[in-house]
Amino acid sequence: MAAGHPLPLAGRTLAVKDNIDVAGVATTAGCPSYAYLPPASAPSVQALVDAGAVVVGKTNLDQFATGLVGTRSPHGACPNAHWDGLVSGGSSSGSAVAVAAGLVDLALGTDTAGSGRVPAAANGIVGVKPTKGRLSTAGVVPACRSLDCVSVFARTVAEAAAVAELAAAAPVRADDPWRRSAPPGTTASAAAAPSAPLRIGVPSDAALTFDGEEAGPARFAGAVAALVAAQPAGAQFVEVDLAPFSAAAALLYGGSFVAERYDAVGAFVASAPPDLDPVVASIVLAAAEHPAWSVFRDQTELRRLAMAAAPTWDAVDLLVLPTVPRVPTIAEVAADPIGVNSMLGTYTNFVNLLDLAAVTVPVAPSGSSAVPAAGPPPSLTLVGPAWSDGLLADVGGRIA
């Protein structure tokens, strides 16, 4: 209680990804030999505890938040909450599974390349990836400091957005150089959708890939139609050129930006502790091989792509994409750990590079709350420019 008023999250149970500090609980980042005992909680965690949330545990992850698959952990692959054999997605695998399985009400994850969105899609829940810097990343083991975001998993968009807003109210710390505030005249808080029909950007059919899943195009089209039907003023479709977004996505894994992972944990990984995941170790160590000049080359290319993508936001209110082309099996990841991981980032990798906000929503059959036996429901990601968090939550919240 605060001044006689109920706390907004009173009694709500919260799980925390194990690369985010919780006071007095070891932070391992999925690598027990890396463990340390933080004296204080990360600001995002503390803000939720102050709002009444009860932290019940830490969750498994792709080691050092390096992966979108949920299988790169010395504790073993994190199983999908509902569909045996399918990946749970990563790197925030345990956080998404804990919410989807009903173990907790809410969970915090992190998102650099899609780790707050891919697991939401794989487990049929909501994932909110706030504007970069809106939530503090102090007290978070970094993956790529300049891209990392704290993300939220919940069963509804309304609750996830409310949690993000509470976490965003945490005070700014001196050791938090990537934190920022909304520019004057803008807000990331809940905002009503335009009274006129929404302008929804969608790529051409030819620009989309579902990695061979024949039902993918029809599932995506049906999900978009359901999203539009839920909007009170309707919507109009605007075809969007996905090329600059896709090119930016390719830079994240194919360019020098991955070198930031070596800066974060490279020295520790190079010491070769016995509990390193071999795929994670290979990625982090290879990140050291990028020459310094390549970073400036890729920064220039990213700036060029950002300029090419910018006119999109004059033409549309938001962009709607499949969250993932498809949800693969754990066996597929074992056979091709790099290729399958890259496929999962097709529609997620560009978001933080281009400084965008995103909300991921499951689109269940009309009137159904049951877990579909055939696999995860279609998952859409609503993408908008920085500080469009409120609009995305309003639109997505009408369907999930």
pLDDT above 70 coverage of the chain, percent: 96
> Catalytic residues, which ones?
17, 91, 115
**Residue 301 falls inside a structural domain:** yes
Buried b / exposed e over 121-153, threshold 16 CB at 10 Å, is: bbbbbbbbbbbbbbbbbbbbbbbbeebbbbbbb
Query: Which of 121, 63, 64 lies closest to 89 in space, CA to CA?
Result: 121
Q: In this predicted model, what pLDDT tens digit does every residue of 326-356 receive, in sequence order?
A: 999 999 999 999 999 999 999 999 999 999 9
User: What gap in Å lies between CA 375 and CA 378, rounded to an integer?
Assistant: 9
Give 358's contacts (C-beta < 8 A, 6+ positions apart): 117, 128, 129, 348, 351, 381, 382, 383, 384, 392
From residue 111, how far is each of 48, 64, 129 by CA, in Å? 18, 12, 7
Number of Cα atoms under 13 Å in the Cβ half of residue 264: 25
DSSP E strand boundaries for 241-366: 318-322, 356-362
Q: Each residue of 79-137: pLDDT tens digit?
A: 999 999 999 999 999 999 999 999 999 999 999 999 999 999 999 999 999 999 999 99
Q: Which residues contact 205 (CB under 8 A, 6 or more apart)?
A: 217
pLDDT, tens digit (0-9, with 9 covering 90-100), for 54-73: 999 999 999 999 999 999 99
Is 367 a residue whose pLDDT tops 60?
Answer: no
CATH number of 93's domain: 3.90.1300.10
| Beta strand 149-154 pairing with 198-203 | unpaired
Once rounded to an integer, what is the mean pLDDT over residues 189-202?
78
- The verdict on residue 246 lying in a domain is yes
Which residues neighbour 367 within 8 Å (Cβ) at sequence distance 6 or greater?
none
| pLDDT for residue 192 | 58
pLDDT beyond 70 at 156: yes
pLDDT value at 366 more than 80: no
Count up the domains in the chain and report the number. 1
Whether residue 268 lies inside any domain: the answer is yes
Within-domain flag for 5 = no
Please give the backbone phi and psi of residue 43, each rounded to the nearest 5 degrees, phi first: -55, -40
Task: DSSP for 280-314, please give it.
Answer: HHHHHHHGGGS-HHHHHHHHHHHHHHHHHHTTHHH
In a domain, 27, yes or no: yes
Taken in order 274, 280, 283, 287, the sign of the CA dihedral is: negative
- Classify residue 4: in a domain, yes or no: no
- Asked whether residue 357 carries a pLDDT value surpassing 60, the answer given is yes
Check whether 195 has a pLDDT greater than 80.
Answer: no
What tokens does 359 get?
């909300």
Domain that holds residue 199: 13-396
Residue 1 has pLDDT above 90, yes or no: no
In sequence order, which residues have a C-beta less than 8 Å from that of residue 322 and are 6 or more positions away?
Answer: 208, 210, 216, 220, 347, 378, 379, 380, 381
User: pLDDT tens, 276-328?
Assistant: 999 999 999 999 999 999 999 999 999 999 999 999 999 999 999 999 999 99
Report angle CA 155, 161, 163 to the nearest 5 degrees. Answer: 85
Answer whether residue 192 is part of any domain. Answer: yes
Residue 183 lies in a domain: yes
- What is the mean pLDDT of the segment spanning 356-367? 88
